[in-house]
């Protein structure tokens, strides 16, 4: 089971949900950008400990230039996403912010097809549309 992508994706969703709840509580009385820095430092420390405990450190000079480029771009996108997410959480309800953040599901589907050559069936596209509809319904304040 721990070798399936589904297991790890569900675990990711659980931790993402906890991230929203813990962050919403944690950013009270603190600048959201500074809160993002604290979160980032915790992540760096936890990852260094994890890599050390599992012996997964790699030699930096053995990483291909293309990997460096796209990992740096991914890191910049992640940082921008976290800053925007924490700012949105500080202003809005976690139950509305998190679903809107998940519009990324729709964008990943579109970008995956456009840039990575991935294929989605009609059923898959129906799911993308339903996710979009769900985001809209969850973001309404009625």
Digits of tens for pLDDT over the chain (142 positions)? Answer: 788 999 999 999 999 999 999 999 999 999 999 999 999 999 999 999 999 999 999 999 999 999 999 999 999 999 999 999 999 999 999 999 999 999 999 999 999 999 999 999 999 999 999 999 999 999 888 8
Token reading at 3 = 């070798």
In order, the DSSP letters of 69-119 are HHHHHHHHHHHHHHHHHHHHHHHS-HHHHHHHHTTHHHHHHHHHHHHH---
């Amino acid at each position: 089971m721990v070798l399936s992508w589904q297991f790890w994706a569900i675990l990711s969703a659980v931790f993402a949900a906890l991230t929203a709840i813990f962050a919403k509580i944690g950013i009270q009385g603190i600048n959201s950008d500074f809160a993002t820095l604290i979160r980032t430092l915790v992540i760096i420390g936890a990852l260094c400990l994890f890599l050390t405990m599992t012996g997964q450190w790699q030699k930096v000079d053995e990483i291909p230039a293309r990997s460096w480029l796209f990992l740096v771009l991914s890191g910049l996108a992640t940082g921008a996403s976290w800053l925007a997410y924490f700012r949105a959480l500080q202003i809005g309800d976690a139950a509305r912010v998190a679903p809107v953040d998940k519009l990324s599901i729709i964008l990943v589907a579109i970008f995956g097809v456009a840039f990575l050559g991935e294929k989605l069936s009609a059923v898959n596209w129906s799911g993308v549309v339903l996710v979009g509809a769900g985001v809209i319904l969850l973001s309404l304040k009625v």
